[in-house]
Amino acid sequence: MRRVLSFALLSGLLSGAPPAVPARELIEFSAPPFLTGPSVSRSAFGVTYVYTGRPPFATSELQLTVVDVPTELRDDGARLPGHCLGAFVDALRSREPALMLGAEVRESTLGTLSLVERRWLSQRGPRTMTGVTACAVHRGRFVSANFADDLRTAVHSLPVLRAALGRLVLNF
């Protein structure tokens, strides 16, 4: 089920189909100065906002995604955060073949959202990347945040990003 869900999420995000969500932005986010963007991709399932790093954090990246909870999962409220996290981790795994997940699933907060998150490591060429993938359910939608940076600079960028994400505003 999780693989089907992540395929559906990715297909929808990349399909270029007309958006099922209103054109108004679903989030308000003031990115830290080391990130530029967002580039916005809309699909039939939702919207993704992508921010990229600038020196000295050029390897930093943030992806915020808001998608409708799939119909087949709507009645499974207690397990929705786990389904959400699993789908986005599966999508990350498809981009990061050397992905190593931390053993612990943690709870965290971003503004008013309660999320589940997993930390991860991956090798991208000569770089060791680290990141956090987190997911929440808010008003019938999955809200995901995926942050990545080079292991050497993440110790500086991740705390700044977490503070900025604490001020994330959802417009739905």
CB atoms within 10 A of CB 165: 23
Report CA Rg, the chain.
15
Which one, of 151, 150, 121, lies nearest residue 133 by Cα? 121
Residue type, 54: R
pLDDT 10s digits, 43-93: 988 999 999 999 999 999 999 999 999 888 888 777 888 899 999 999 999
The CB-side HSE value for 87 (13 A sphere, CA atoms) comes to: 30
What is the reported pTM? Answer: 0.83
pLDDT 10s digits, 113-168: 899 999 999 998 899 999 999 999 999 999 999 999 999 999 999 999 999 999 99
- Please confirm whether the linkage preceding 32 is cis (ω < 30° from 0): no
List, in order of start, the domains of the chain with CATH numbers.
Answer: 2-170 (3.40.1000.10)
